[in-house]
Structure 1
Amino acid sequence: MNIPIGELSRRSRIKIPTIRYYESIGLIPRAPRSEGNRRFYDLAAVERLSFIRHARELGFDIEAIRDLLTLSEAPQSSCAEADGIVLRHLANVEQRIAQLELLRAELARMVHECAHDRMATCRAISILANHDECLADSHPAPVAHGHELMSAGAAPQRSARSGPARLQGGPR
């Protein structure tokens, strides 16, 4: 079946530039081209992209998806390796949840301790201005599309304004 890229995008609910990206990094096979240089795909591409989209929605990174796709091509083999990939991802998710719970507690404390009076006495502002008033040594890095912007376990950062480097962790 010859499915043009626009139709593939509609069926898989993945944008055309992302399909081209996945093709360029080998997550999906390069599509044959027509004489007019148009890409045409088959139903297997729709299924593969649906798998990729679902895995991305669940937060798997590209390499884990690549490994899972490779494993899925041997349907009679043991699923132990796939289970291992999923279990590692689950452990990462649980770690992020624990970090976010610490962050939530810190933010809730900031609001709770505030007198809600004037900016001069605003507890949220004073805590933001002085990290030493936080319960935790550090806070989880921002997350965008399931990717941490700063890798977990990164070396502590020091700047002239922040004072001594802090280690990532829980309450002081």
Structure 2
Amino acid sequence: MRIGELAGRTGYTVEAIRHYERAGLLPKPARTASNYRHYGQPQLERLQFIRRCRSLDMALDEIRALLAVRDAPDQRCGAVNAMLDQHITQVGRRIAELRALERQLKDIRGLCGQDRAARDCAILHCLAGISDQKA
């Protein structure tokens, strides 16, 4: 199949497919006599794998490492387990950071419960670093 058809079947844009080729996640495809890229089932499956990894918020380097193990089926998968454990830890940290951010935003939101003139808005004063007792 040509790149446009591959894009349609995977949900990626043509540019995204080319990006993955340049990044080394998708091997350069064979070319037809008229110099069109020619893709097959292996590239389709690889892009579906990449899409699933991206949906799990994995970075390109993580995906590259997973693909390297996937491309060596006799290799042990301990590195995959360790990488996923590390990714889970990173996600946990981000969740904690987002919860702290949510608390901070709620605290700031609680500063102003009325519809006031902007010059008297305690939220705007807080964000500007202004401490004003009457706001």
TM, length-normalised to structure 2: 0.89
Partner of 1:130: 129
User: Within 2, Cα distance between the matches of 1:128 and 1:35?
Assistant: 62
Q: Could you list the runs of 5+ residues in structure 1 that have no partner in the other structure?
A: 133-172
Q: 1:89 Cα shift? A: 1.1
Structure 2 residue 8 is matched with structure 1 residue 10: yes
TM-score, normalised via structure 1 length: 0.71
**How does 1:1-172 map onto structure 2 within 5 Å?**
3-118=1-116, 119-130=118-129
1:69 CA displacement: 0.4
Asked if structure 2 preserves the Cα contact closer than 8 Å seen for 1:4 and 1:40, the reply is yes
Could you tell me which runs of 5 or more consecutive residues in structure 2 were left unpaired when the two chains were aligned.
none
Show CA shifts across 1:130-172 (max 9, x none). 188xxxxxxxxxxxxxxxxxxxxxxxxxxxxxxxxxxxxxxxx
- Provide the secondary structure at the position in 2 that maps to 1:74: coil
Offset from partner CA, 1:97-116 (integer Å, 9 cap, x none): 11111111111111122132
- Partners in 2 of 1:128 and 1:25 — Cα distance? 40
Distance 2:84 2:29 in 1: 29
Separation of aligned partners in 1, 2:34 and 2:78: 45
- Which protein shows a greater Rg? 2
Aligned length: 130
Query: Could you tell me which amino acid in structure 2 is paired with residue 125 of structure 1?
Result: L
Q: Is the 1:115–1:121 contact (alpha carbons within 8 Å) kept by the matching residues of 2?
A: no
Q: Output the aligned Cα RMSD.
A: 1.6
